[in-house]
Amino acid sequence: MYFETIIYFIIWSLSVIYSVHRFSTSSYNYFRYYNDEYDDFTQGISFLSKKRDKADLEWEAIMFLVKDYFPWLVIYVSVALATKYIKSLKLIENLDSWSLYGFGYAMGQFFHLKYVIQYGISTSIASFERINVPNLPRCIGRIHLYSDMWKYFDPGLYNFLIKNIYLPMTKFTQNKPIRSFFCFSFVYVWHGLETHIFIWTILNYFGLMCESVLWSKTDKIKKNGQEQNWKRRKDCFISAFLLAMSAISNFYFFAGYNVGNVFFRRLFADMFGNIVLIAALYCCCQVSTEIPTVPASQM
């Protein structure tokens, strides 16, 4: 399985790079011939964006920081510019499938980067005071299961839900789906009573229940090497579809109801693109399965 996993990793990496490149090119070309009749934009960084918004008052400050922190800040600025028009439906709806999925992947990585910085600053200060703090969010690029996403992206929230809702509910019921339902109900109320939050919560709950049914304890029977390899391929193939649903649910959460609908409708509009997508996600699941417990600091 070692060399097979390397092949999966290469295919998955090339798919991500190509899709993000297509999205970046689409955004670049959009402003290349943009008719700025209200003179709202001026010249931007040539290799990142043809235009920039004149209302960006922080532009000069960012340019000053780039000179001192260029290796890291340029990555942040690049992704920020790529997701600047996150709710521009006219632009998003006209993207081809590769560009659209690259846009979605960039949203996820930008979301992860934001929380690594926010949590990293606060947890670093707490660590200096010798306070035990949760681990930083694990990169979403190597998580393919709903259960792992909730467990490792925000360990603090996960521990809170387990300690204060899931375990105390055992006094009233031993039914795990019911206890999980109350946890997700709290998550919905906590993040805001809005339509796109509701869709995100429901899809996550449904995905988690699918995992519990597909991979129950009775499925963890020891098998020989060849049987285990084929079982892994089967599990990753099924996980690819769940990962696609997980991604779409997160797009509702990241960008709102209208943008989430664009991704949802694309599932039924581009059959060939979806086949390629599932193949790429299958490779992602294989890579994620190979490195499930490697700490981010050792990657």
Domain count, the chain: 1
Q: Give domain status of residue 9, yes or no.
A: yes
Top-confidence range, 19-28, 140-149, 176-185:
176-185
Identify the domain containing residue 158 by its residue range.
Answer: 2-13+138-298
- Which two tokens mark 260? 């989430």
**DSSP-derived secondary structure for 25-76:** HHHHHHHHT---TT--EEE--TTT-SEEETT-TTHHHHHHHHHHHHHHHHHH
Any domain includes 197: yes
Q: What is the pLDDT of residue 248?
A: 92
Which residues neighbour 294 within 8 Å (Cβ) at sequence distance 6 or greater?
none
Task: Decide if 115 is inside a domain.
Answer: no
Q: 287 near 141, Cβ under 8 Å?
A: no
Residue 92 domain-assigned? no
Tokens of 173: 């019921």
**238-252 per-residue burial string, b: 16 or more CB within 10 A, e: under 16:** bbbebbbbbbbbbbb
> Hey, which of 56-65, 122-131, 175-184 has the most confident mean pLDDT?
175-184
166 in a domain, yes or no? yes
The reported pLDDT for the residue numbered 38 is: 59
Residue 58 included in any domain? no
**63-67, 128-132, 183-187, 232-236: segment of lowest average pLDDT:** 63-67
Task: Taking residues 217-226, report their average pLDDT.
Answer: 57
131 found inside a domain: no
In this structure, is residue 250 part of a structural domain? Answer: yes
With cut-offs at 50, 70 and 90, classify the pLDDT of residue 216. Answer: low
Per-residue pLDDT of 181-196, as tens digits, reads: 999 999 999 998 899 9
